[in-house]
Amino acid sequence: ETGVTQTPRHLVMGMTNKKSLKCEQHLGHNAMYWYKQSAKKPLELMFVYNFKEQTENNSVPSRFSPECPNSSHLFLHLHTLQPEDSALYLCASSQDLSYEQYFGPGTRLTVT
């Protein structure tokens, strides 16, 4: 285990649902990340938070909404998703931006 946990591990949701993914790290890190991993694009960086401030948003659609209430927790709020949003969503944390990232186990999301 890396010290980064994600819940739920699996999620099936309809296109009209609203759900949230949760990530928690117990490593004392200051930076947290959301990634999308699918067959089409092996690893896409979505959002970056450093010291609770969002520092990067890689042109992610607004149906994905991140939230970082403190440096240990990161959420990804989902609403009106599309089937093509089905993927593995990985969370990671690092001491700072240019340091080793520790990944969580991911949430396998299926949008029906």
Q: How far is the CB of 66 from other proteins (least distance, A)?
A: 16
Greatest Cα-to-Cα distance within the chain, rounded to the nearest angstrom: 38
Q: Which is nearer to other proteins, 45 or 79 (CB)?
A: 45
Q: Which is nearer to other proteins, 35 or 64 (CB)?
A: 35
The structure tokens listed for 95 are 């001491």
Binding mask 44-83 for other proteins (x = CB under 8 A): xx--x------xx---------------------------
Position 100 contacts other proteins (CB under 8 A): yes
The enclosing H or E element of 110 equals: strand 107-111
Residues in the chain: 112
Position 42 contacts other proteins (CB under 8 A): yes
Contact between 41 and 102 (Cβ < 8 Å): no
Q: Report CA torsion sign: 23, 29, 31, 36.
A: negative
Q: Which is nearer to other proteins, 48 or 74 (CB)?
A: 48
